[in-house]
């Protein structure tokens, strides 16, 4: 750990509170009325970042949060700190900020001149306790740099109130916000050292007030002043105490999504910042083209009015397939039709169901009153909707609300019950039409980015590749898949890794250093629809660049998909770096899990998963996964705890695998709806505990948009 300055502390306003007292203060602030002459809460200042990226003033945080379901990319320079990072609102009341800080002039922790200046990773969390109203301030509780070395760790309570164009911030801070040093308070030298978290959960009492003002001169320009509670001389890389404990600055909204800032800190330092904010959603850089609704030709309508059941089913199959759906099969009866299909065209399954329903509703003769519509994945029905044709037409015409429609439709996870209901109602219905064999194969080409942040030889090492994948669907539920990876740029080759003797993941650098075209995967996957609404999966082949073997899984939804339970297991061996089809190691690895799933909040799209069992290295434990999916974007995080005493390397002992991930629609780069998504994950370190093996297909659902509760929430998509 780099040395901290030992200059004498500058005098500050004395204050001493325990953390429980901070909570008590929060209650007092929440219950103390403000004058009735203040402005309404909807006139609060825009949620703009501090120099660390956390929504706030300059060096000080505030009770403001970034607007819900927005992402902010930020960068700042305040000598000696250069900071880059991402801020996101996981929930309307929860802001998370991740940042990397370079400390100029302080040697790096690696014994390598190429590493350069010291670099630090930090995670900041802010929780809104109270929203601002006409009489009450906004109130938030936060923690900065909550995990790791503890160089910039603090916790705070902040309140904000808007008085016309003036936004007032008052707060109480602990940790570095109270002039304390939080670095190195863990067990020195231990692999499990987490000085930051140790402080966050401690009963530290040293507390200081902070505060500031932001004056909104125009809708794009504001001035700021703050009283900083930091002792700059105690921070890493700082040359000495502040001349004055005051900071001044300005913010300029260059664009609705772009902000520039400039400030004068502690009486002797200029700083600047840049932030780019955008909403999370499927539409991005380009406006989407309007996709017209399908309308049948008059001659086709005339034919369907007189068509027998068999002919009606054939027409429906052809026309719904022409709407860019695949694997369409139809059965028609006297008063109802059954149609099942796969959706390779739209991000939203609800939108896809609406488009299919429009085609069916417009085509079928007046005698058809009910429509049974089944959405499939891999030829397996995942959800079936029974809906009255009359109700659907009233809904799309705007004569029925989402809530009213929800009370009239019937949704079923697997569709088996509704299939029997259709057959009982329509004993003379036509047989299901055969598939048109329009779904035999699929190809895809996507970029891949692997980034090692704060590695032994610098801030970042990168591998950029182009991954081509192909799949063949030779029979019902079966997939034969492969993927090839072509590196376009790779500077990971300069890194030398030090690994566990029998490493399962810490030798990953050897695989990422490859610069030639490689076969990433080659496998066969089969999904079975079992009695009792259970789904099963078997997979054999090369799963990923490092492992191949066999795997299997069982899973079942309960209570309309609100929760589920499953079993999973894999038996794998490590692949040869130089021979795609060779397994040189004699060791094999066995994984076995109980998978539990719960839809914590259908309204906000929050999913919780728990994986319990034996992980790749033979360590036993559990992994908690929490994610939110909204507007087709997923933000999630995982945390794993296992018995690490089986490892020999110090860096593995006591380590809990953790990370965050982001899934965004590819359509943000397009001018139309595209069903593909891009995935990116960040973990602070790659270690051997708590590791799993990739599979081509998963039944264990996280962010499953075919879930009944998700479809019920997004019924408005049927109109799109």
pLDDT value of residue 560: 86
State the Cα torsion 658-660-666-670 to the nearest 10°.
Answer: -150
C-alpha span between 675 and 352 (Å, rounded): 11
Residue 240 CB neighbours (<10 A): 13
Residues of the chain by 3-state class (helix, strand, coil), percent to 5: 20, 40, 40
Q: List, in sequence order, the alpha helices (H) in 32-152.
A: none
Residue-wise pLDDT tens digits, 671-715: 888 888 888 898 888 899 999 999 999 998 876 666 788 899 899
What average pLDDT does this structure show over 518-524? 97
Cβ pair 6, 137 in contact under 8 A: no
Weakest mean pLDDT among 10-14, 62-66, 150-154: 10-14
Confidence of residue 113 (pLDDT cuts 50, 70, 90): low
pLDDT value of residue 614: 99
Tell me what percent of the residues of the chain surpass a pLDDT of 70.
Answer: 88
Reported pTM: 0.87
Q: What is the DSSP letter of 336?
A: E
Please say if the pLDDT value at position 239 is more than 50: yes
User: How far is residue 289 CA from its own chain's centroid?
Assistant: 27
Residue-wise pLDDT tens digits, 323-352: 999 999 999 999 999 999 999 999 999 999
Strand 326-332 with 269-279, pairing: unpaired
What average pLDDT does this structure show over 562-570? 96
C-alpha span between 437 and 434 (Å, rounded): 8
Please say if the pLDDT value at position 40 is more than 60: no
Q: 3-class DSSP state for residue 235?
A: coil
Residue 365: partners with Cβ closer than 8 Å, 6 or more residues away: 304, 305, 306, 307, 312
C-alpha span between 108 and 106 (Å, rounded): 6
Residue-wise pLDDT tens digits, 171-186: 999 999 999 988 864 3
Residues paired with 261 in a beta bridge? 251, 273
Confidence of residue 386 (pLDDT cuts 50, 70, 90): very high
Cβ pair 454, 682 in contact under 8 A: no
Q: Which of 151, 166, 168 is nearest to 226 (CA)?
A: 168
- DSSP string covering 611-639, please? EEEE-TTS-EEEEEEEEEEETTEEEEEEE
Cβ pair 266, 228 in contact under 8 A: yes
pLDDT value of residue 109: 67
Residue-wise pLDDT tens digits, 619-672: 999 999 999 999 999 999 999 999 999 999 999 999 999 999 999 998 888 888
Residue-wise pLDDT tens digits, 48-87: 999 999 999 999 999 999 999 999 999 999 999 999 999 9
Mean pLDDT computed over every residue of the chain: 88
Q: Which of 470, 467, 471, 469 is nearest to 446 (CA)?
A: 467
């Amino acid at each position: 750990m780099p040395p901290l300055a030992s200059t004498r502390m500058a005098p500050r306003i004395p204050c001493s509170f325990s953390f429980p007292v901070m909570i008590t203060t929060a209650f007092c602030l929440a219950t103390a009325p403000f004058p009735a002459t203040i402005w309404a809460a909807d006139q609060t200042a825009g949620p703009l970042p501090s120099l660390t990226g956390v929504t706030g003033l300059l060096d000080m945080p505030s009770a403001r949060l970034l607007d819900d379901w927005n992402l902010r990319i930020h960068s700042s320079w305040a000598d000696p700190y250069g900071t880059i990072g991402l801020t996101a609102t996981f929930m309307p009341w929860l802001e998370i900020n991740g940042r990397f800080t370079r400390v100029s002039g302080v040697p790096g922790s690696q014994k390598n001149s190429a590493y350069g200046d010291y670099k630090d990773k930090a995670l900041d969390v802010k929780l809104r306790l109270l929203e601002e109203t006409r009489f009450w301030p906004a109130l938030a509780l936060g923690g900065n740099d909550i995990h790791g070395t503890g160089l910039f760790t603090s916790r705070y309570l902040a309140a904000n109130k808007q008085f016309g164009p003036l936004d007032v911030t008052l707060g109480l801070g602990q940790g570095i916000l109270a002039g304390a040093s939080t670095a190195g308070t863990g067990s020195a030298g231990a692999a499990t050292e987490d000085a930051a978290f140790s402080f966050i959960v401690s009963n530290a009492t040293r507390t200081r007030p902070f505060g500031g003002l932001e004056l909104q001169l125009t809708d794009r320009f504001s001035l700021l002043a703050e009283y900083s509670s930091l002792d700059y001389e105690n921070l890493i890389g700082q040359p000495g105490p502040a001349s004055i404990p005051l900071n001044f600055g300005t913010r300029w909204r260059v664009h609705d999504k772009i902000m520039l800032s400039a400030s004068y800190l502690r009486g002797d330092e200029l700083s600047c910042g840049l932030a780019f904010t955008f909403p999370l959603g499927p539409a991005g850089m380009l406006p989407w083209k309007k996709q017209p609704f399908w309308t049948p030709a008059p001659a086709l309508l005339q034919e369907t009015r007189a068509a027998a059941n068999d002919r009606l089913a054939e027409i429906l199959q052809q026309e719904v397939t022409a709407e860019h759906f695949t694997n369409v099969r139809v059965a028609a009866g006297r008063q109802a039709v059954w149609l099942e299909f796969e959706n390779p065209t739209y991000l939203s399954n609800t939108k896809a169901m609406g488009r299919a329903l429009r085609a069916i509703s417009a085509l079928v003769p007046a005698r058809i009153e009910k429509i049974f519509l089944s959405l499939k994945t891999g030829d397996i029905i995942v959800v079936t909707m029974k809906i009255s044709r009359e109700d659907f037409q009233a809904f799309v015409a705007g004569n029925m609300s989402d809530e009213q429609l929800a009370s009239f439709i019937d949704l079923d996870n697997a569709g088996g019950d509704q299939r029997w209901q259709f057959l009982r109602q329509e004993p003379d219905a036509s047989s299901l039409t055969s598939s048109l064999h329009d779904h035999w194969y699929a190809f895809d080409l996507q970029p891949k980015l692997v980034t090692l942040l704060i590695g032994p030889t610098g801030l970042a090492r990168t591998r950029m590749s182009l991954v081509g994948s192909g799949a063949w669907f030779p029979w019902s539920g079966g997939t034969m898949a492969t993927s090839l990876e072509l590196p376009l740029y790779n500077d990971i080759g300069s890194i030398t890794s030090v690994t566990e003797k029998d490493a399962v993941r810490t030798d990953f650098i050897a695989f990422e250093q490859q610069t030639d075209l490689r076969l990433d995967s080659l496998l066969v996957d089969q999904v079975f629809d079992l009695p009792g609404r259970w789904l099963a999966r078997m997979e054999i082949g090369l799963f990923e660049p490092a492992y191949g073997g066999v795997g299997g899984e069982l899973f079942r939804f309960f209570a309309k998909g609100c929760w589920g339970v499953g079993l999973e297991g894999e038996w794998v061996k490590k692949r040869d770096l130089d021979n795609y089809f060779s397994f040189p190691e004699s060791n094999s690895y066995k994984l076995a899990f109980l998978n539990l799933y719960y839809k914590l909040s259908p309204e906000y799209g929050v999913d919780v998963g728990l994986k319990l069992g034996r992980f790749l290295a033979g360590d036993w434990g559990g992994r908690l996964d929490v994610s939110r999916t909204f507007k087709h974007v997923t933000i999630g995080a995982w945390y794993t705890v296992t018995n690490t005493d089986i490892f020999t390397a110090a860096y593995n002992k006591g380590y809990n695998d953790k990370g965050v991930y982001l899934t965004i629609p590819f359509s943000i780069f397009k001018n139309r709806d595209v069903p593909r998504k891009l995935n990116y994950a960040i973990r602070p370190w790659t270690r051997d505990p708590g590791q799993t093996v990739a599979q081509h297909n998963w039944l264990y659902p996280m962010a499953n948009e075919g879930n009944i509760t998700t479809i019920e929430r997004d019924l408005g998509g049927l109109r799109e």
